[in-house]
């Protein structure tokens, strides 16, 4: 019977302590480009986790927050489980001073309170519960990264190296408002498009100009036409710029372009279609180049099915219902799912309105969702 496990008993009375750690973490600004802030969050987590049976590895990252890798439990040849959380937020440094952690009843507010400092708290308490009760059934590895909100380019190789040989990966992005977890996510890519043309005076020698703005404008409807709701592919030109003034034929134009995919098999044909659109000389004498800025792998539902079943059973025993959901948002879970490792996401405490000033964490889900993660890990023994 899962509920008699000492690790769940250890977690049961910890809500106050979990809230205290959440307040500490939220009140440290950790905007993705703020390395110092992200490293302070790392140090707060390491200070909380320090203790017997816990080992630490700090992997330096030059431009962003270092990666903290924490291990509890041992056993040669015993496949580990990996828990993941990102410390960075989308809120510029100084946001904490303007609106620090605030609690009202069962709700907490503040920058990153749901996405995903409450998830970091959950991981920290699950790790500590297994360490203090000396009951880790196999090695438990927690990875705390610092660049997820900007694409995880620095931490991706560390995530992948840490996932090799794992029996499961649990990613603690916020639980959905419904209480559900995330069983599948879109992947995609973000591309910068630069178009060059030829400048000319709009009155004196108009005919000598080659308008980069017109060339870009002709490409946008064709790029948007790649959207297909039936297959789940979406494309979006979200930013455009170009030209220097009304009286000059524009010699340059640029766009930021977002593409979302449901399965990795959609990537090659979609990229080929994009390349063909960019290569077309819609306005003679213009030239377009696409630069890949970041890349996300979809988390496909087949990789989460077994873990979802285990999590639902654990949640039911603890006393709440949770199903699996699909979301168009991307996360680090796509990297490990694409490696063929069973991966489940959205296991953090329930949160809403991420990336807004109204972001909120449901504090009454801190303990039960930590227990459900611990019970899911035990079920994998
Ligand atoms: Zn997140």
Tell how far the Cα of 309 is from the centroid of ligand 1, in angstroms: 23
Tell how far the Cα of 166 is from the centroid of ligand 1, in angstroms: 22
Tell how far the Cα of 346 is from the centroid of ligand 1, in angstroms: 9
DSSP 6-52: HHHHHHTT-HHHHHHHHHHHHTS--BTT-HHHHHHHHHHHHHHH-ST
Tell how far the Cα of 116 is from the centroid of ligand 1, in angstroms: 5
- 365 SS3 class: helix
Tell how far the Cα of 378 is from the centroid of ligand 1, in angstroms: 25
Tell how far the Cα of 89 is from the centroid of ligand 1, in angstroms: 8
Q: Specify the domain boundaries for CATH 3.30.70.360 within the chain.
A: 187-296
Tell how far the Cα of 148 is from the centroid of ligand 1, in angstroms: 7
Tell how far the Cα of 251 is from the centroid of ligand 1, in angstroms: 39
Tell how far the Cα of 111 is from the centroid of ligand 1, in angstroms: 12
Q: Which two tokens stand for residue 87?
A: 């410390």
Tell how far the Cα of 86 is from the centroid of ligand 1, in angstroms: 7
Q: Specify the domain boundaries for CATH 3.40.630.10 within the chain.
A: 2-186+298-379
The CA distance from 322 to 181, in Å, is 7
CB 170 within 8 A of CB 376: yes
Tell how far the Cα of 349 is from the centroid of ligand 1, in angstroms: 12
Tell how far the Cα of 245 is from the centroid of ligand 1, in angstroms: 40
In this prediction the pTM is: 0.86
Tell how far the Cα of 119 is from the centroid of ligand 1, in angstroms: 9
Residue 24 pairs in a beta bridge with none
Tell how far the Cα of 273 is from the centroid of ligand 1, in angstroms: 30
Q: Which two tokens stand for residue 107?
A: 């709700």
Confidence at residue 76, expressed as pLDDT on a 0 to 100 scale = 67
Tell how far the Cα of 154 is from the centroid of ligand 1, in angstroms: 16
Residue 182 pairs in a beta bridge with 325, 345
Q: Kindly report the CA angle at 291 between 289 and 294, in degrees rounded to 5? A: 160
Tell how far the Cα of 52 is from the centroid of ligand 1, in angstroms: 30
Tell how far the Cα of 88 is from the centroid of ligand 1, in angstroms: 8
Q: What φ, ψ does residue 147 adopt, rounded to 5°? A: -140, 30
Q: Which two tokens stand for residue 322?
A: 């949770």
Tell how far the Cα of 93 is from the centroid of ligand 1, in angstroms: 17
Q: What is the pLDDT along the chain (381 residues), one digit of tens a residue?
A: 556 689 999 999 999 999 999 999 999 999 999 999 999 999 999 999 999 999 999 999 999 999 999 999 987 679 999 999 999 999 999 999 999 999 999 999 999 999 999 999 999 999 999 999 999 999 999 999 999 999 899 999 999 999 999 999 999 999 998 889 999 989 899 999 999 999 999 999 999 999 999 999 999 999 999 999 999 999 999 999 999 999 999 999 999 999 999 998 999 999 999 999 999 999 999 999 999 988 888 888 889 999 999 999 999 999 999 999 998 887 899 999 989 999 999 999 999 999 999 999 999 999 999 999 999 999 999
Tell how far the Cα of 4 is from the centroid of ligand 1, in angstroms: 32
The CA distance from 271 to 249, in Å, is 30
Tell how far the Cα of 60 is from the centroid of ligand 1, in angstroms: 21
CATH classification of 187-296 is 3.30.70.360, yes or no? Answer: yes
Tell how far the Cα of 147 is from the centroid of ligand 1, in angstroms: 10
Q: Which homologous superfamily does the CATH classification assign to the domain defined by 2-186+298-379?
A: Zn peptidases (3.40.630.10)
Q: Are strands 351-352 and 360-362 parallel, antiparallel or unpaired?
A: antiparallel
Size (the chain), residues: 381
Tell how far the Cα of 282 is from the centroid of ligand 1, in angstroms: 39
Tell how far the Cα of 354 is from the centroid of ligand 1, in angstroms: 8
Tell how far the Cα of 229 is from the centroid of ligand 1, in angstroms: 25
* Cα–Cα nearest to 369, from 347, 351, 354, 344: 347
CB 124 within 8 A of CB 25: no
Q: Is 111 exposed, middle or buried (0-12, 13-18, 19+ CB in 10 A)?
A: buried
Q: What φ, ψ does residue 279 adopt, rounded to 5°? A: -75, -25
Helices (H), the chain: 6-11, 15-26, 35-49, 95-98, 118-132, 156-163, 212-224, 267-279, 305-318, 333-338, 366-379
Tell how far the Cα of 113 is from the centroid of ligand 1, in angstroms: 10
């Amino acid at each position: 019977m899962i509920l008699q496990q000492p690790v769940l008993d250890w977690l049961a009375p910890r809500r106050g302590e979990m809230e205290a750690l959440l307040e500490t973490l939220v009140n440290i600004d950790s905007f993705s480009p703020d390395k110092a802030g992200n490293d302070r969050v790392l140090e707060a987590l390491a200070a909380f986790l320090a203790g017997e049976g816990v080992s630490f590895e700090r992997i330096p990252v030059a431009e962003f927050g270092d990666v903290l890798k924490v291990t509890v439990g041992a056993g040669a040849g015993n496949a580990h489980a990996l828990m993941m959380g990102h410390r960075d937020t989308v809120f510029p440094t100084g946001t904490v001073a303007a609106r620090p952690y605030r609690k009202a009843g069962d709700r907490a507010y503040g920058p990153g309170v749901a996405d995903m400092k409450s998830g970091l708290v959950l991981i920290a308490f699950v790790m500590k519960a297994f360490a203090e009760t000396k009951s880790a059934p196999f090695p438990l590895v927690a990875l705390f990264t610092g660049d997820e909100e900007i694409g995880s380019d620095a931490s991706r190789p560390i995530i992948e190296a840490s996932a090799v040989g794992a029996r499961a990966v649990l990613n603690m992005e916020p639980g959905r408002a419904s209480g559900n977890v995330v069983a599948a996510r879109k992947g995609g890519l973000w591309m910068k498009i630069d178009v060059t043309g030829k400048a000319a005076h709009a009155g004196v020698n108009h005919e000598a100009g080659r308008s980069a703005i017109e060339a870009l404008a002709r490409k946008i409807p064709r790029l948007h036409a790649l959207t297909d709701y039936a297959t789940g592919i979406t494309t979006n030109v979200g930013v455009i710029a170009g030209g220097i003034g009304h009286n000059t034929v524009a010699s340059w134009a640029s766009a930021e372009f977002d593409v979302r995919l449901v399965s990795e098999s959609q990537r090659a044909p979609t990229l080929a279609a994009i390349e063909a659109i960019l290569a077309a000389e819609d306005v003679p004498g213009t030239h377009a180049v696409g630069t890949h800025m970041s890349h996300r792998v979809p988390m496909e539902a087949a990789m989460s099915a077994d873990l979802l079943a285990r999590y639902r059973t654990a949640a039911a025993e603890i006393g709440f219902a949770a199903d699996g959901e699909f979301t168009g948002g991307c996360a680090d879970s796509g990297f490990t799912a694409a490696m063929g490792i069973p991966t489940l996401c959205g296991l953090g405490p329930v949160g809403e309105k991420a990336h807004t000033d109204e972001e909120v964490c449901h504090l009454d889900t801190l303990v039960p969702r930590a227990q459900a993660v611990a019970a899911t890990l035990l079920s994998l023994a």
